[in-house]
Amino acid sequence: MAEFVYPPVIGAARTLFRALDLKFDIAGTENIPRRGGAVLVSNHIGYLDFVFCGLAARPAKRLVRFMAKESVFRHKVSGPLMRAMKHIPVDRAQGMHAYKHALAALRSGEVIGVFPEATISESFTLKTFKSGAARLAQEAGVPLLPMALWGTQRLWTKGHKRELGRHHFPITIRVGEPMAADPAEHPEKITDRLRARVQDLLEAAQRAYPVRPRHPEDTWWIPPHLGGTAPSA
């Protein structure tokens, strides 16, 4: 069922991207393995981030199964689609069920997408990473795939209205080299290294971003340390 649903959803997303005239700059897609399990790990700055992470995996012909909060699966529109595409609901009160589900998917050769900050960062800087991604990679014996997104917050993020008109927004995506998750290493140590790698990729994406604010009121999507007016972390 999933493969009858997932490709048309991807096609619809690409049609939307063309309609919005988004300008993509994606680098590092060769780092995504064409077969076998992996944990894709990204920063989280907008509601559509899972779509853009999934887009970066398409050159490798991979379909990413994302771990997402359980409430998304209860929605009358998104719920059936999320279940049909084999995404994984996360009930924070019973997280072990989602963990076991993701672990089984990894062992069967799937790519699992994780946002280790667990929520959108309203400062657009990295929050603390939870160690679940590292523990999954360790137990499943698969690599971690660090990724960073920039520009997605301009489309739709927490505390701001959607901007899904034809604004020609650039979207920058950077995928890093796979990271091993040694079972002998403490998960927190792996998580620290993973966060540092995502930070490096995020800074690279920010440096490559081709536009700057159009006027003083357009600085909300940039953190203060880059000259913007986003909330402090």
- Per-residue pLDDT of 188-227, as tens digits, reads 999 999 999 999 999 999 999 999 888 888 999 999 999 9
Question: What is the pLDDT at residue 1?
Answer: 43
Spatial contact of 134 and 194, defined as CB atoms under 8 Å apart: yes
Question: What is the pLDDT at residue 33?
Answer: 97
User: pLDDT tens digits, residue range 10-52?
Assistant: 999 999 999 999 999 999 999 999 999 999 999 999 999 999 9
Question: What is the pLDDT at residue 2?
Answer: 52
Spatial contact of 201 and 55, defined as CB atoms under 8 Å apart: no
For the chain, the 3-state helix, strand and coil shares in percent, each to the nearest 5, are 45, 15, 40
Spatial contact of 209 and 170, defined as CB atoms under 8 Å apart: yes
